[in-house]
Amino acid sequence: MDTTLQKIFDSIVEGDQQAVTENVQAALNDGTPPGIILNQAMIAAMREVGSRFEQGDFYVPEMLISARAMQKGLAILKPVLKQAEIKATGKIVIGTVKGDLHDIGKNLVGMMLEGAGFEVVDLGTDITPDEFVEAVQEHEPDLVGLSALLTTTMPNMKTTIEALEVAGLRAKVKVVIGGAPVTEQYARQIGADGYSADASRAVTLANMLVSSN
């Protein structure tokens, strides 16, 4: 790997925001194609972060620090990627369901997906089924991600999937769900396409569902 790309990779894994921004800019100044910076340094680094999390070497705080550093680099890279017409891996609309104001898990999933090359539309928290429907109509995503941290708000995941069905949109998107009380069994029960226990697995799941389209 090119020295500057290696520096971007290392500084994302270490969560060094300043080093990420400096080296992304340096790589662009040197004429490195933005797609190469994204794939070989940034996506590769977030894959390493996910791998370390799954092995128990990283925990949620370390993942957040790395993801924030990656986002700093992405802020510089995004306009150049657009100019170069580099296509995103896929597009996902995410949000915490109605009645639920928890967002740390959702935010981490969003950052990890961005780090994996996805275009992420984050609706925020306390999102009604109708708001999810409107977002799918507007953004035409490949995936919809529903988050809930309370057992009392979990039923709103089912209500949201039903709203997508009523609007005639369910067949056009894959729905993934997650959050502390959510299980694989519940995902099957409400007709979701997938469930993820954590942000790292969410990326693997999203990649799998997009490539199966």
Q: Is 76 helix (H, G, I), strand (E, B) or coil?
A: helix
**Euclidean distance between CA atoms 33 and 19, whole angstroms:** 19
Q: Give the chain's radius of gyration (CA, Å).
A: 17
Tell whether the model's pLDDT for residue 85 goes beyond 90.
no
Given the DSSP bridges, would you call strands 194-196 and 174-178 parallel, antiparallel or unpaired?
Answer: parallel
Query: pLDDT value at position 194?
Result: 96
198: left (phi over 0), alpha (psi -120 to 50) or beta: beta
What domains lie within the chain, and their CATH numbers? 3-83 (1.10.1240.10), 91-211 (3.40.50.280)
- Whether the pLDDT of residue 189 is over 90: the answer is yes
Please state, in angstroms and rounded to a whole number, the distance separating the CA atoms of residues 134 and 127. Answer: 11
> In degrees rounded to 5, what are phi and psi of residue 176?
-120, 145
Average pLDDT, the chain: 94
**Sign of the alpha-carbon torsion through 152, 158, 162, 168:** positive
pTM recorded for the entire structure: 0.87
pLDDT of 169 > 90? The answer is: yes
Answer left, alpha or beta for residue 161, where phi above 0 means left and psi between -120 and 50 means alpha.
Answer: alpha
Please tell me the predicted confidence (pLDDT) of residue 91. Answer: 96
Overall average pLDDT of the 63-87 stretch: 90
Q: How confident is the model at residue 71 (pLDDT cuts 50, 70, 90)?
A: very high
Q: pLDDT of 140-162, one tens digit each? A: 999 999 999 999 999 999 999 99
Share of the chain above pLDDT 70, in %: 99
pLDDT of 177 strictly over 80: yes
pLDDT, residue 94, reads 98
Report pLDDT digits (tens) over 8-63.
999 999 999 999 999 999 999 999 999 999 999 999 999 999 999 989 999 989 99
92-113 in b/e form (b: 16+ CB < 10 A) is: bbbbbbbbbebbebbbbbbbbb
